[in-house]
Amino acid sequence: MKETVAILDAGAQYGKVIDRRVRELSVETHILPMSTPASQLSEYAAIIISGGPQSVYDAEAPEFDPRIFELGRPMLGICYGMQLINYALGGTVERKSRREDGPCTIEVSDASALFSGLDTRQTVLMSHGDSIGGLAAGFRATANSNGLVAAIEDPARRMYGLQFHPEVDLTEHGKQMLHNFLYSVAGLSGSYTMEDRIAKATDYIHEKVGDGEVLLLVSGGVDSTVCAALLNKTLGPERVHAIHIDNGFMRLDESRKVKEALQANGLELTVIDASDDFYKGTTEVGGNIVGPLDTVTDPQAKRHIIGDTFMRVAENAIRQLNLDPERTFLAQGSLRPDLIESASKIASGKAQVIKTHHNDTELVRMLREKGRVIEPLQDYHKDEARELGRRLSLPDDIVMRQPFPGPGLAVRILCAEEPYITDEFEDINAQLHAFSTLGVTATLLPVRTVGVQGDGRSYSYLAGLSGAKDWRHLMQIAREIPKAIHRINRVAYIFGEKVEGPVTEITPTHLTPDVIGQLQQADDIVNNALRQYGLLQRLSQVPVISFPVSFGKKGARSIAIRTFITNDFMTGRPAVLGKDFPEHALDDMVIGILRDVQGVSRVVYDLTSKPPGTTEWE
């Protein structure tokens, strides 16, 4: 039997992270539909069942072959996967009064093979609504989280379940748990290497392109640059045409810097100024024309327009370069997390959309159907792409660049024409008052941000904390609020005077040059401070966001600073002030923005982990 593990996809947003973690442990994996028959799964050495957004009782719960539990293969269920194992074998699953989203502390049994050699108390990432009720015959609970069952096992049948996600960074010993399952429980030896995957990517390029040519959209970020280097090595520079599209939403002077940086490393780049095309871009959704972009407020519509405009500009570039459209393929540096969050069928047939990435719109999918798109990095995560870049001899100053979204600052400007105030606003605000303690005031803000809760997308309220700057206390409050109030998925600290009373006003905001210029200035101040304090590599990503809350200053907007620490870019946490990030560095950023950028009322610091908040705000 080959040492290959089957990962059954139940729709988890972290499904591909499971795949990645197992491969890091030198074990080959195949992601398969939850409905894969037992006869096919009998060929695999072990089975992992992923998490997912449904309840086991839902009519739309993924179908499965019950005979998989009779194969005798070592099996690990994660989140929904654990609930399914328990339910399918006669146990019960219940919707409790308390759900868990975010980091939690659990107590584990060191007698369990999964937790061998680990501390009895540890931090894990929870993301679930349902919980285990009665245990199936033969199973015992091996971990708990405040009275909820956090792990189960039946060692005789080599079946194990975890309510939390061992695959993500926020579970501190998750990789060791997976190692224990693969090596101690399943008895695997490990023989899968990075070289195998590079060879696979090279074969993919040759197979897709044949003797054709490639047009590559280069943003200047890690993904597209590594993709360019891989294509150049595989096909040769004469068959790879790299273009950089300035969409008008770049960082201050970014396009010039991108061209100079890539040329210094032997990659020729053509820069196309298409800002007007994007400002006035439109798209068709459900038979209706949406746009132009500078009038749109819906974040999904913004991403659709930007993604489709990229494709149209690329098609024009093919004509201008006199390339044969039938022999020219569009290359993208799309990584696996992009496709998972967009619920692309490449990554998962069951995952819910967390956000639509600009490189995974309907137009891109149509081009994929025609075989016109190649994505050599579609099986890689960010750190793996960086490792590939090093192996392709790219310098560290490019390989370690912080990610910048393809749509640029357009998706870091929350657009709105009126405040977001639902019928629940007053009730949620009243619930927030319970968190106003020790000199801190908690206030609901009238805007929405995107989050990920229970393996699905949430589009919910932002809460603001103001007053005393006890960062440890503030971080604790920020973790607790989304657990207690599910209509809040993001919490930020508001600098300046304590915010008293309800906040109900915004400044109407669209993607216009003045708003973009305002954010460009703020973003530049933050990034200059990051360079000054040597934080660009310590912090994985630092989005700077404009949001339309005026805080009583007519016509003003506010700026958010979102420090983010992660390895997998699917989960992560904010930088802890005084530990990961010097407080005086943040103070310099805040003072600089309020002093030098006109029309800014307040600056806030995002305190939210992912989940329940995503990396970006929309």
For the packed helices 222-235 and 194-209, what is the interaxial angle rounded to 10 degrees? 70
Place of tokens 């605000």: 429
Cβ atoms of 285 and 307 closer than 8 Å: no
Distance CA 16, CA 339 (A): 10
Active site residue 165: yes
Beta bridge partners of 30: 6
Distance CA 522, CA 297 (A): 21
Q: Which of 3, 79, 304, 616 is catalytic?
A: 79
List the structure tokens of 589: 């950023």
Active site residue 358: no
Cβ atoms of 446 and 419 closer than 8 Å: yes
Place of tokens 């995503």: 614
Give 473: exposed, middle or buried? Use CB within 10 Å, 0-12, 13-18, 19+: middle
Q: Where are the alpha helices (DSSP H) in 264-369?
A: 275-279, 299-320, 336-341, 362-369
DSSP class per residue in 510-554? -S-HHHHHHHHHHHHHHHHHHHHTT-TTTSSB--EEEE-B-TT-T
List the structure tokens of 499: 């915010």
Distance CA 544, CA 586 (A): 12
Active site residue 415: no
Q: Which of 3, 153, 165, 415 is catalytic?
A: 165
Q: Which of 74, 50, 42 is nearest to 156 (CA)?
A: 74
Q: Which of 3, 28, 167, 618 is catalytic?
A: 167
Catalytic positions, written as ranges:
79, 165, 167
